[in-house]
């Protein structure tokens, strides 16, 4: 998916914690570095995110977006 963001960091999902509306996704980008993203529960479901998935943390300004091929 083409994006204007240039800060794209590959990693592996280490944990997904679902709340009622928002979810916390922990992405290990290099041992022991982990990026934590808060995204909607709906986005987690649409992407089918689960532990072990290879993803990219896409960083734009103060927000972190998550994409999955």
- At residue 5, the pLDDT reads 74
The residue to which tokens 């022991």 are assigned = 32
Question: Which neighbouring-strand residues pair with 9?
Answer: 57
Neighbouring residues of 53: CB distance < 8 A, sequence distance ≥ 6: 12, 13, 68
Domain ranges for the chain, please list them. 7-67
- Condensed to tens digits (0 to 9), the pLDDT of residues 21-61 reads 999 999 999 989 999 999 999 999 999 999 999 999 988 77
Length of the chain: 69
Please tell me the pTM assigned to this model: 0.81
- Condensed to tens digits (0 to 9), the pLDDT of residues 17-32 reads 999 999 999 999 998 9
- Any idea which architecture 7-67 has in CATH? Beta Barrel (2.40)
- At residue 39, the pLDDT reads 95
């Amino acid at each position: 998916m083409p994006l204007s963001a240039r800060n794209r960091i590959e990693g592996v999902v280490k944990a997904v914690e679902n709340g009622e509306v928002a979810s916390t996704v922990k992405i290990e980008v290099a041992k022991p570095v982990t990026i934590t993203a808060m995204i909607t529960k709906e986005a987690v479901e649409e992407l089918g995110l689960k532990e072990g998935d290879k993803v990219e943390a896409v960083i734009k300004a103060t927000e972190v977006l998550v994409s999955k091929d």
